[in-house]
Amino acid sequence: MTFKIKNNSILKKIKFLYNKNQKTNYEKNLILFKIFRPISFYLAFFFIFLKAKPNFITFLNFLLIMGSYFFFLKGYMFLGSFFLLLSFIFDLTDGNMARYYKSNNSFGKIADGLVDSFVFLTFFFYAISLIINEQIIYNENFTLLIGALTSIAYLFKMYFDMRCSFVLIRDKKRNRNISKNFFSEKKYSFYKIKNLIDQFYLGIPIFLIICIIIGYPSFGLIFYFFMIFFGSNLEILFKLFILWKKFNK
């Protein structure tokens, strides 16, 4: 009986700490978070029960991403996408555990961000897998080029987002009347555009899996090529415009 009560209290604490998080309100509007996040609660509970630490989960996340690339290189597109999906969920899991342990470890934060950054290579390895499976777009060189350009564009978006976060956190400390969740606030018309784009980013592995199942794996790469080039650039332009209006009043 005591064992059951203790387990319930751990799970409740994980959920409670997440609900106190500033990201919660925005994440509630992302459909896939309603699936990924509850799974991450139970995974966090499992690893806490085993007395694992957040940095260990970050390492497992890294292995999942590397495993995803390995399977793509071997031509196993479904397994590669599935491992990528697991890495998305494990990324949420280490955050749950960090909050539970009240971890404020700088190394852990840097390592987590570094591991997350490896996701940008997904499209390059996915393109290689398309070539191995003879699902090329026009020709092999063009398929590889599309994969490389999509990965580079995704990396640029990640860098821009990190730069924005750094500036917003810094300016908040300088009392510039701006929050670090500035771009997620509903009072801006940009909110709906960002929400839609984030839905597609969060669904990268699921969308790729669906394309593989229906027999059109190349469609997944083409879709994200246009999504990242046009969607991300649109998002970046909106962010710059909003910041320009905010700081030039």
pLDDT tens-digit series, residues 165-178: 777 767 665 555 56
Q: What is the pTM of this model?
A: 0.85
Instruction: Say whether 54 sits in a helix, a strand or coil.
Output: helix
Q: Does residue 204 carry a pLDDT above 60?
A: yes
Q: What pLDDT does 214 receive?
A: 94
Asked whether the predicted pLDDT for residue 76 surpasses 90, the reply is: yes
Q: Residue 224: its pLDDT value, please?
A: 93
Query: Average model confidence (pLDDT) for the chain?
Result: 83
d(CA 138, CA 215) in angstroms, rounded, equals 17
Please state, as a whole number, how many other Cβ atoms lie within 10 Å of the Cβ of residue 149: 16
Q: Which domain range does residue 58 map to?
A: 2-247
Distance CA 191, CA 187 (A): 8
User: What is the predicted pLDDT for the residue at 157?
Assistant: 84
And the tokens for 244?
A: 């320009």
DSSP state of 21: S
User: For the chain, how far is it from start to end, CA to CA, in angstroms?
Assistant: 61
Q: For residue 106, what is the domain's CATH number?
A: 1.20.120.1760
For 58, residues 6+ apart whose C-beta sits below 8 A from its C-beta are 94, 108, 111, 112, 115
Phi, psi of 202, rounded to the nearest 5 degrees: -65, -25
**What's the domain count of the chain?**
1
Give the pLDDT of residue 244. 77
Alpha carbon distance 44, 208 (integer Å)? 26
Instruction: For 31-61, write each residue's pLDDT tens digit.
Output: 878 888 889 999 999 999 888 888 899 999 9
Please name the helix (run of DSSP H) or strand (run of DSSP E) that holds residue 44, with its range, or none: helix 33-49
DSSP symbol at 174: T
Going by C-alpha positions, the residue among 166, 66, 165, 195 that lies closest to residue 118 is 66
Q: Say how far apart CA 154 and CA 17 lie, in whole Å.
A: 31
pLDDT in tens, 121-137: 999 999 999 999 999 88
- For residues 207 and 190, what is the distance between their CA atoms, to the nearest angstrom? 24
